[in-house]
A and B are shown apart, each in its own frame.
Chain A
Amino acid sequence: MRSYVTGFAVSLVLTLVAFGLVLGYTQGSLDVSKGLLILSIVVLAALQLGVQLVYFLHLGQESKPHFNLISFLFMLLVLVVIIAGSLWIMANLDYNMMHNPNIEKEIIHDEGY
């Protein structure tokens, strides 16, 4: 019972803080760089993921050999490969595609030859 109340309260605060930060930024009352803001809302989401995994999904609370935890960590590896890999490859592909008329000049500028 107590674990659910804690998880709920912390999740609520994290959601509201992330929402408040973005609302403050879009209304101009919060003066930070966009990169920092994106980083902080991603960190808040990751924190909330951890809180809900522990308090709601009871991850890591089963007895040894912790198969749930192992399969979760493996899924995390696959997830990072899929998302980071897709973004990386597609950004490169985008850069090298011919649909940008100035791409040859940009590549020459970036690569320095």
Chain B
Amino acid sequence: MKYIEDSKTTLGFWIYLMTDCVLFASLFATFAVLRNNTFGGPGGNELFSLPFVLLETLILLISSFVCGLAVVSARKQQKDRVIRLLVATVVLGLMFIGLEINEFRELAAEGNDWQRSAFLSSFFTLVGTHGLHICLGLLWASFLIVRLSTSKLTGTTVKRLFLFSLFWHFLDIVWIFIFTIVYLMGALS
């Protein structure tokens, strides 16, 4: 089923993803410039817990993988399997976003919210924008699940699922760089 990769819809969606990359690039650039401007407040090495972030990373990676398996099943016309795998994707995504909200809440509760320093402003903007994308993806996946459970697995549904999988894998790639640049390098600062 090569036609999905070759369709104009996929190209259009792909170009949207590329512009989204540019959005994230400017947020990464802002973060990189402001990473040391802590205004006397705590830096990344005092704020972030690496094992916690590794857990978030692994959950998102598994979610991305499961979403890929859903696409494989959809191409084999195994509808029930697709629904089960998509539900697993959403559950893992919810776990990820829950952990992230918890992290943000704890930071804010200790007085380290986005008003504390330029470093924290850029941190919350970058990671928060990624989290917002994840929330939108979860909404999209939920609509897909509802649609799949009420109707047949047609060519259009498979294509929509494929586009969602592109979006979801893309978010995982952005997270690799958040993990490396914000958290791992932050721990070294």
Contact = CB atoms under 8 A, between A and B. Distances in A.
Nearest to B14: A68
B119 to A, nearest CB: 14
A49 B33 contact: no
Contacts of A37: 188
Contact of B29 (A62, A67, A82): A82
Contact of A41 (B26, B61, B69, B184): B184
B169 A78 contact: no
Contact of B177 (A22, A45, A53): A45
A23 B29 CA distance: 25
Contact of A18 (B14, B62, B184): B184
A71 B15 contact: yes
Interface residues of A, number: 44
A7 B62 CA distance: 11
Given A18-B180, A41-B180, A78-B25, A4 B185 contact: no
Contacts of B172: 52, 56
A87 B181 CA distance: 14
B28 to A, nearest CB: 6
Given A12-B61, A63-B2, A79-B22, 17 more contacts: A4-B65, A15-B57, A25-B188, A48-B176, A52-B173, A52-B176, A56-B165, A56-B169, A68-B10, A68-B14, A71-B15, A72-B18, A74-B18, A78-B25, A79-B25, A83-B28, A87-B33
